[in-house]
Structure 1
């Protein structure tokens, strides 16, 4: 259940684009065509699916306070968390370089269409944000870290795919001159973000229900106890 909840929450509720507005540079620049948006989105999913779990391992076994205890008791007090940014970015840059080599080898057309934005995945704040959110949310296991990386990548992929499809259509629409280009794109992005916010009740509602049931049960237990105490006090007064 925890894996399913994290998967859907990362895609719809905590979407990298619509909830935190990360990765907007690539999102706006490469979303003019669906074909290029699909290619970049797939590359982002691949990079996040690898870098988030790898960075989780780095954080758990090297960077966080006490992570080096596996080397011996004398290393248990070491805290290398100040190296998080450097290590995370190094991991991301390595994976992006691998993706660039693979895309150039097997799809030269996609490589040329993505241009400079393919190597710029290395500095895409959505990629780094995935690793930092993983660290701040204290994800407990490697499986959850892999789940979070894949689902966050899918969320970013859906966002850029949706805006690319819309931008291809609005080319033939009568958009007012001051709003053409990035203006209408930002407006549509804001409306899509509002739409994605509506998914918030999909998981939070289920979490609140058990709490309400528990509170109701506790209230039902307290009320009879108060009634019994009142009856006993009344009897003592009458006597």
Structure 2
């Protein structure tokens, strides 16, 4: 039961996008269409989860034993970049339409600050392997959840009459702020 609370806390209470403000680039760039948002959320979730586990293994079996923790960020980026390249190849072969809809944002998963931030936070909080896996999965599910919710809100905003000064990105940031305040209500859960 402890792990379930841990997972709910990562997804809702300590959401990477709304609490740590990590992953705002894909949130603003890909969330205008629901299908692209779902695809991007899924791809990022896969990379984030596997990247956190792989980074934990590298941290505890390579970097710490060799005393080379100063290359942590570089090592994590190499692992995550390899995963993203593999994922891009698979998506290009299996669904060319999806590959075109994700466009430049798929390779940019490598430099997504949420994808690199989750393993770094996990190391800072000294998680076990199971906790790191749950943390990566929970952060990934939280990211995907926010992508889908925000995409739905942006599709509705596209149909609304918005003052010219707020049209486009400004209203998207106002909406993101309101969504963040809404998720603050989950703080009392845990």
Name the TM-score, length of structure 1 as normaliser. Answer: 0.78
Could you list the runs of 5+ residues in structure 2 that have no partner in the other structure? Answer: none
The match for 1:113 is 101
Larger RCO, structure (CA 8 Å, separation 6 or more): 2
Residue of structure 2 equivalent to 1:196? 183
Say yes or no: does 1:91 pair with 2:79: yes
SS at structure 2 position matched to 1:144: helix
Any gaps of 5 or more consecutive residues in structure 1?
A: 69-77, 204-239
Q: What is the distance in 1 between the residues matched to 2:31 and 2:74?
A: 29
TM-superposed CA distance for 1:154, in Å, is 0.6
Q: Which protein has the larger Cα radius of gyration, Structure 1 or Structure 2?
A: 1
Counterpart of 1:178 (choices 165, 176, 183) is 165
Runs of 4+ in 1 over 6 A off after TM superposition: none
Q: Is the counterpart of residue 49 in structure 1 residue 49 in structure 2?
A: yes
Separation in structure 1 between the aligned mates of residue 55 and residue 6 of structure 2, nearest angstrom: 18
Aligned-partner Cα distance in 2 for 1:2–1:58: 26
Cα distance in 1 for partners of 2:149, 2:74 equals 33
Cα deviation, residue 156, structure 1: 0.5
Q: Give 1:95 deviation, angstroms.
A: 0.5
Q: Aligned residue for 2:40?
A: 40
RMSD, aligned α-carbons: 0.9
